[in-house]
């Protein structure tokens, strides 16, 4: 049995350029139904050093950082010191792993907006390190979703309705990396609150509204019991492994989603590797019928509208699932992490 917990990743507090403290952010996260939150203030762990990781308003608060040079931002967790943003990417990402931590390339293919110049995409994909990828980022997508004043107005009034799937180039890079090693993925909100963006209306900038966009759901083999140290390890281990899936809450909340590969009585879940053997079966189960796309090695492998899918004889490859709701204007809903079927 696996336990399903909904989290909000990539949040900024008043320790960097956010507009609220940990207690207020946790209160809002509780109101939005989250079980845990991931703090990523710019180039600082002050929230961790001064207040510590803890439960607030019933929400587990976990604190990492975001290394923020001009480009190549990096979300990092389970570290005691933030590497200098003045170092080359290979060095500051390497320092995270030398500390025993892990991390994700932040908004790696963020589009440049001509109305608000500045690029924060990733240029160093060839790092010889086991990094993960933030494949979906609400605020980066919002900022890159318009090029004219008319588009800006549409984004103001319909910020969540205009949420698109992850960038195709990001997905393709992620799939190709998965052919060589496990690559965990998360969805980030990149929430700052309203104080630092006074030109944005509340529907865009408030923590409450942003927390209703993208979630990272983790799957654990043990339940959270309110013990900070043990629960912290359960959540971080699941994130590091990629035992998780990503949800667009605007398309619909998710209480249960299953994607696994089975052989007899044994099952492999998202983030896990399995050696190929005859008789492997792919199984997908949704909360309700929707459009299911199974992606293998970066290409569409199977597509159907259903609540469940069962595909026998899974060959070697890297598999993941995309789910869309609606037929006329399909909305991106669920994106799974990979399951890796390696050649024997």
- What one-character DSSP code corresponds to residue 116? B
Helix (H, G, I), strand (E, B) or coil at 15: coil
Rounded distance between C-alpha atoms, residue 68 and residue 96, angstroms: 14
Rounded distance between C-alpha atoms, residue 331 and residue 233, angstroms: 33
Which pLDDT score, from 0 to 100, does residue 150 have? 55
Look up the CATH superfamily of 3-248: Metal-dependent hydrolases (3.20.20.140)
Q: How many other C-beta atoms are found inside a 10 Å radius of the C-beta of residue 260?
A: 17
Domain ranges of the chain: 3-248, 258-342
Rounded distance between C-alpha atoms, residue 342 and residue 344, angstroms: 6
Which pLDDT score, from 0 to 100, does residue 79 have? 98
Helix (H, G, I), strand (E, B) or coil at 76: strand
Per-residue pLDDT band for 87 (boundaries 50, 70, 90) equals very high
Alpha-carbon distance values, 134 to 75, 81, 181, 277 (Å): 8, 21, 16, 32
pTM over 0.85: yes
Q: Going by CATH, does the domain composed of 258-342 fall within 2.40.50?
A: no
- Higher-pLDDT residue of 323, 326: 323
Which pLDDT score, from 0 to 100, does residue 147 have? 55
Q: Which two tokens stand for residue 137?
A: 């980022």
Rounded distance between C-alpha atoms, residue 278 and residue 205, angstroms: 51
Which tens digit of pLDDT belongs to each residue from 188-230?
999 988 654 555 545 556 898 889 999 999 999 999 999 999 9
């Amino acid at each position: 049995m696996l336990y399903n917990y909904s989290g909000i990743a990539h949040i900024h507090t008043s320790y960097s350029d956010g507009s609220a403290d940990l207690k207020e952010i946790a209160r809002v996260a509780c109101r939005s139904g989250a079980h845990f939150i991931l703090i990523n203030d710019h180039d600082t762990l002050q929230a961790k050093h001064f207040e510590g990781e803890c439960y607030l308003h019933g929400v587990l608060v976990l604190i990492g950082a975001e290394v923020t040079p001009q480009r190549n931002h990096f979300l990092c967790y389970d570290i005691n010191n933030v590497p200098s943003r003045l170092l080359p990417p290979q060095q500051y990402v390497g320092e995270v792993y030398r500390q025993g931590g892990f991390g994700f390339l932040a908004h790696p293919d963020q589009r440049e907006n001509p109305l608000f110049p500045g690029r924060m995409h990733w240029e160093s994909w060839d790092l010889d390190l086991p990094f993960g990828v933030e494949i979906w980022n609400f605020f980066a997508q919002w900022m890159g979703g318009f090029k004219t004043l008319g588009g800006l107005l549409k984004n103001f009034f319909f910020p969540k309705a205009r949420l698109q799937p992850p960038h195709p180039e990001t997905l393709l890079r992620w799939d190709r990396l998965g052919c060589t090693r496990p690559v965990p993925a998360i969805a980030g909100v990149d929430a700052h609150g309203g104080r630092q963006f006074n030109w944005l209306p509340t529907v865009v900038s408030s923590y409450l509204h942003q927390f209703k966009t993208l979630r990272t759901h983790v799957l654990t083999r043990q339940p959270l019991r309110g013990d900070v140290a043990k629960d912290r390890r359960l959540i971080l281990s699941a994130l590091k492994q990629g035992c998780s899936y990503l949800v667009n809450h605007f398309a619909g909340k998710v209480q249960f989603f299953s994607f696994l590969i089975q052989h007899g009585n044994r099952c492999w879940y998202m983030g896990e590797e399995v050696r190929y053997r005859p008789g492997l079966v792919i199984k997908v189960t949704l909360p309700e019928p929707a459009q299911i796309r199974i992606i293998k090695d970066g290409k569409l492998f199977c597509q159907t509208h259903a609540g469940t899918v069962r595909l026998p004889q899974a060959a070697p490859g890297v598999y993941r699932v995309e789910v869309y709701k609606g037929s006329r204007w399909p909305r991106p809903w669920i994106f799974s992490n990979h399951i890796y079927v390696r050649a024997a």
